[in-house]
Amino acid sequence: MAALGLLPFDINLNPDPLAAPIWLRRIAVVYSNVIDRPDFSPSQLGRQIRACHTGTFWCEGHYRRTGDPAVQHICDVRGYVEWLGLGNDAQCAAWLHDTVEDSGQVSTPDIYRHFGHNIGRLVEAVTCVKLQSKQQTLERYIRQLVEGSMEDAQVGALKLSDTCANSRTIEGTNDTAWSAGWMQKAATTINHALAGPCREQVRLRLPAHFDRYEALLMDTVRNLRNEYVKVGDPDQLGFAAELIVRPR
């Protein structure tokens, strides 16, 4: 088991920022925004920088099925979480949300040990555990999201940020069978968790963030419907009428 503490914090960055990879430039922008946050205490700032290093270290050089770099994806998710108005713990969890699933070397207890209970709980709640069948895996995952949101309403917001980020890049793959399957799973997750119990928990417990949650939810549904046209009838995704957003 690799220790999270043993990370290359002395990464040698290219002195010419324009020559750096686009994902590295994006992280530099995020760093500058984080460092300028007056509402972050030194310990909060340090925790987010460590979360950023950890998340990017374990996905550096990896590409997703959607075609975008894995580093770009976690940057996008963290950006949505910040846009929703959520605090430092949720932003740290955004950097780390794929670490357990994708690294194969970092466990949930590692996240708890190095980042504390609140961040560990968020990461654990959105980490998918594979079972014998895809259907069992999806059903368990939806229950996990719903139960997690009952404990912390930020769970739904974190997962919605992840789903929205993926919905915006799904067109990057030419594998229509895979993309159709992913969109169907995403729609099921939205219908049974993100637009249901998770949404209700945000409304009740995070009312100041609810309007933006609704906007992100609608944007995600619109992205999925627009992309699903390429492989089938978007009405098959089963979104309730109130969630259907026609193309602008």
At 95 the pLDDT is: 94
At 48 the pLDDT is: 86
State the DSSP code for 193. Answer: I
At 209 the pLDDT is: 98
Positions in the chain short of pLDDT 50: 1-20, 247-248
At 17 the pLDDT is: 41
- Please check whether residue 55 is in contact with residue 96, taking contact to mean a CB–CB distance below 8 angstroms: yes
At 230 the pLDDT is: 93
Domain annotation for the chain: domains and CATH numbers: 21-127 (1.10.3210.10), 130-166+173-248 (no CATH)
- CA-CA-CA-CA torsion sign (68, 159, 138, 244): negative
The CA distance from 230 to 164, in Å, is: 18
Between CA 231 and CA 170, with CA 136 as vertex, the angle to 5 degrees is 30
At 2 the pLDDT is: 38
In SS3 terms, 103-115 reads as HCCCCHHHHHHHH
State the DSSP code for 151. Answer: H
Query: CB atoms < 10 A from the CB of 112, how many?
Result: 16
In sequence order, what are the residues at sequence separation of 6 or more whose Cβ sits closer than 8 angstroms to the Cβ of residue 118?
89, 152
